[in-house]
Chains A and B, each alone.
Chain A
């Protein structure tokens, strides 16, 4: 039962990484879109495609946190208390980002729009970095059991943490560009299709290189983790991820954006799932195994039952939302983001 709860957590984390990661990535493209006039078209597309789904995307995080502290409370307390610096940073980033995005729609001057836009974009990059660094800290074995017993700085500034942080930003940007290319195609805006296709290809290459670098760093810094990634189920996931990544490159090159979405998603999912297999049987490497960390049977059962019932209602609802969105039923009119504003 503990494995099932962990599975749910990882599924939720993957969903978060895919969906919210793409949202964060959109912020990255917003940041790097260029000047007000040139970048306005790109920014307009970002805003339009985020609209209906962004809150639903971010609720996955709460789902993950909640299962974590219900099913593995001691691990939760240990990890959160040691990694409080990056997690506090991520938390602040989430607040700023959500607020800036909601408020930007009401900006009336260039100055206001630029200011809010900068807050939105910057926090979209810092948040996944901090979260990735925190996850890297867990993977690198920097979290001991206990109340803030790990080092508050080296737990997340070590090579693995930093690399995972940057990788998190990169995968978000990559996924987002792939999704936005598809959205632009659906909106009938060929100049934006080309813009995002170029970005997606670039991001795919960078992400691939970072992932390879990651493996190299892990091989020297965390040999146990490296073993996990290069044998058994971990290796399978790494291979799937690599193949999917290559396939997505091909799909992007040939302009098949709908399929590219799934290829990209699979490539990223392979990484998160592979990480869990690589780390098994530990939840906090070197400190706490899954079985040691798990709550009692009564709680695990109750959690699984609730999640099952919840999913019964949630999955059809999610399907409804996404099908409405992908069919364009909830699309708002497209507007480049600079032209609305009076100087």
Chain B
């Protein structure tokens, strides 16, 4: 395990392609990357969790013979295919951007982390194959075989993001290589990918996948519910998706704690940015809200000792501040602080909503009657999505100015090409149109009666 402190003292490698020089387009590049990622990641959520939900329904159909389950499963498979198709396409954009936006990052470290993407590529391949067989094979291959063909889709939905998250973990916690005289040597790719950050990032993202997809789907049926559509079809759709999401929500709080502990331990400056903590403190307070200016957090509400409890599980624990490193090594605090708090706030709210659902089931063995509950579910889908993106902003912007923590700065990784702002505007227009079109398509699909499938 490489001591990050030692590496930071060595002159950071200029990289395989040399330093790009002054880059007025660095911000454009980062914004483009962020935008492409934000469009892709909700689709990843569906890829991770939706196949399991579809198969759950098909399992019910096979077990009970009730056609309602089949109708729902077929409808959901159509949605699954659309999400996958758009996911592949937006994922291809991200792959291109590794070279178009960050050639020096990939040129320098491609041999360290690249393997992860090879494994991910195979996973997507197999997922594409079996999703096609599954969706096009309804009523055309034997029911048992059809169900079995869904299982690779569930598995590859999980393995597809496994190594990509491994790479992200590696970026936060670089390992599996040495730096000698500005060059990367002694590459150990397996060590790089199966790093100490993989576990918590993976679990946190997987649970998030179930939360986002689950609440979005539940929200669709909750909306129908509020409009009086409460037949069995809608009830089953609501109960299956909502149950899964509500089980995941409290679990995510526990996993979030695990993530925070790891970051507090290994990337203390990042945690300090989450919190807007300028100086190292013992028994540090947690500030809700607030704007970071000139080394202090103004206008927030402080809760004494809570930060130390969260970060260290000890009310008198020491929490490191931003100023343990020079200013140019600190991430931008306000975006990180704001998005961290948005994520935690929404996550807690979702857990509360979930608690209501689960307790009502526990005590009354029925669905809640309150209209406000269903309004909450309708809101939960988009809110879960906001939390997801806020979480990714927290971790990615929190890692700045590094692209490889303490080893390579983002400014060293970026392309030297000109005119990125044109690409950015173009891509933004493209994605906006795509978002509208996909939304339009799904809405139209939902209006068709299920028997038409």
Q: Which residues of A contact B (CB under 8 A)?
A: 51-53, 55-56, 58-59, 61-63, 65-67, 69-71, 73-74, 76-82, 84, 87-88, 90-92, 94-96, 98-99, 101-103, 106, 108, 145-149, 152, 295-296, 298-299, 302-303, 306-307, 310, 313-314, 317-318, 320-321, 324, 329-330, 332
Can you give 19 A-B contacts (C-beta < 8 A)?
A56-B129, A59-B124, A59-B125, A65-B98, A69-B114, A76-B106, A77-B16, A88-B96, A91-B96, A98-B89, A102-B82, A106-B441, A147-B415, A148-B103, A148-B416, A302-B190, A310-B121, A318-B129, A320-B133
| B 110-140 to A, binary, CB cutoff 8 A, 1 in contact else 0 | 1110110111111011101111110011001
Task: Give bound CA distance, A149 to B119, whole Å.
Answer: 31
Q: Does B175 contact A (CB under 8 A)?
A: no
- Which of A146, A303, A314, A330 has a CB less than 8 Å from the CB of B126? A314
Given A66-B118, A310-B118, answer yes or no on A81-B129 (Cβ-Cβ < 8 Å): no
Q: What residues of chain B lie closer than 8 Å to A94, measured between beta carbons?
A: 89, 92-93
Contact A88 B100 (CB under 8 A): yes
- Which of A59, A73, A148, A307 has a CB less than 8 Å from the CB of B88? A59
Contact B126 A61 (CB under 8 A): no
Q: How far is the CB of A124 from the nearest CB of chain B, in Å?
A: 13
Q: What residues of chain B lie closer than 8 Å to A145, measured between beta carbons?
A: 17
Q: Does B108 contact A (CB under 8 A)?
A: yes
- Which of B114, B133, B187, B434 has a CB less than 8 Å from the CB of A95? B434
Given A106-B444, A148-B415, A148-B417, answer yes or no on A77-B99 (Cβ-Cβ < 8 Å): yes
Contact A102 B86 (CB under 8 A): yes
Q: Does B141 contact A (CB under 8 A)?
A: yes
Contact A329 B137 (CB under 8 A): yes
Q: Does B109 contact A (CB under 8 A)?
A: yes
Contact B107 A66 (CB under 8 A): no
Given A55-B132, A313-B122, answer yes or no on A76-B107 (Cβ-Cβ < 8 Å): yes
- Which of B17, B114, B122, B189 has a CB less than 8 Å from the CB of A146? B17
Q: Does B308 contact A (CB under 8 A)?
A: no
Q: How far is the CB of B295 from the nearest CB of chain A, in Å?
A: 35
**Chain A interface mostly:** helix
Contact B128 A56 (CB under 8 A): yes
Q: Does B426 contact A (CB under 8 A)?
A: yes
Chain B contact residues (Cβ within 8 angstroms of A): what range?
Answer: 35 or more
Contact A296 B133 (CB under 8 A): no
Q: How far is the CB of A53 from the nearest CB of chain B, in Å?
A: 7
Given A62-B92, A66-B95, answer yes or no on A298-B188 (Cβ-Cβ < 8 Å): yes
- Which of B84, B417, B445 has a CB less than 8 Å from the CB of A55? B84
Q: Does B437 contact A (CB under 8 A)?
A: yes
Q: How far is the CB of A301 from the nearest CB of chain B, in Å?
A: 9
Contact B126 A91 (CB under 8 A): no
Contact B430 A95 (CB under 8 A): yes
Q: Does B423 contact A (CB under 8 A)?
A: yes
Contact A330 B133 (CB under 8 A): yes
- Which of A69, A101, A108 has a CB less than 8 Å from the CB of B106? A69
Task: Give bound CA distance, A145 to B18, whole Å.
Answer: 10
- Which of A58, A96, A296, A321 has a CB less than 8 Å from the CB of B111? A296
Contact B131 A55 (CB under 8 A): yes
Q: How far is the CB of A253 from the nearest CB of chain B, in Å?
A: 33
Contact A99 B437 (CB under 8 A): yes
Task: Give bound CA distance, A84 to B187, whole Å.
Answer: 28
Q: What residues of chain B lie closer than 8 Å to A298, measured between beta carbons?
A: 186-189
Q: Select from chain B the residue with minimum beta-carbon distance to A80.
A: B99
Task: Give bound CA distance, A106 to B20, whole Å.
Answer: 46
Q: How far is the CB of A46 from the nearest CB of chain B, in Å?
A: 16
Q: What residues of chain B lie closer than 8 Å to A80, measured between beta carbons?
A: 96, 98-100, 103, 106
Task: Give bound CA distance, A82 to B17, whole Å.
Answer: 12
Q: How far is the CB of B229 from the nearest CB of chain A, in Å?
A: 21
Q: What residues of chain A lie closer than 8 Å to B111, measured between beta carbons?
A: 70-71, 73, 295-296, 299
| B 420-448 to A, binary, CB cutoff 8 A, 1 in contact else 0 | 00010011001000100110110011000
Given A58-B88, A69-B114, A330-B132, answer yes or no on A63-B140 (Cβ-Cβ < 8 Å): no
18 extra interface residue pairs, beta carbon distance < 8 Å, beyond A55-B132, A148-B20: A56-B129, A62-B121, A65-B95, A69-B99, A70-B111, A70-B117, A77-B110, A81-B99, A81-B416, A87-B96, A147-B18, A295-B110, A296-B185, A303-B114, A310-B122, A318-B129, A329-B141, A330-B136
Contact B93 A95 (CB under 8 A): yes
Task: Give bound CA distance, A71 to B118, whole Å.
Answer: 11
Task: Give bound CA distance, A151 to B96, whole Å.
Answer: 19
Q: Does B418 contact A (CB under 8 A)?
A: yes
Contact B16 A74 (CB under 8 A): yes
Contact A74 B107 (CB under 8 A): yes
Contact A77 B124 (CB under 8 A): no
Q: What residues of chain A lie closer than 8 Å to B117, measured between beta carbons?
A: 62, 66, 69-70
- Which of A56, A88, A313 has a CB less than 8 Å from the CB of B132? A56
Q: Does B301 contact A (CB under 8 A)?
A: no
Contact A77 B430 (CB under 8 A): no
Q: How far is the CB of B305 from the nearest CB of chain A, in Å?
A: 47
Q: What residues of chain A lie closer than 8 Å to B20, measured between beta carbons?
A: 147-148
Given A79-B99, A84-B415, answer yes or no on A62-B132 (Cβ-Cβ < 8 Å): no
Q: What residues of chain A lie closer than 8 Å to B16, measured between beta carbons?
A: 73-74, 77
Contact B187 A66 (CB under 8 A): no
Q: Does B27 contact A (CB under 8 A)?
A: no
Contact A299 B107 (CB under 8 A): no
Contact A299 B430 (CB under 8 A): no
Task: Give bound CA distance, A106 to B82, whole Å.
Answer: 11
Task: Give bound CA distance, A73 to B89, whole Å.
Answer: 23
Contact B114 A66 (CB under 8 A): yes
Contact B91 A62 (CB under 8 A): yes
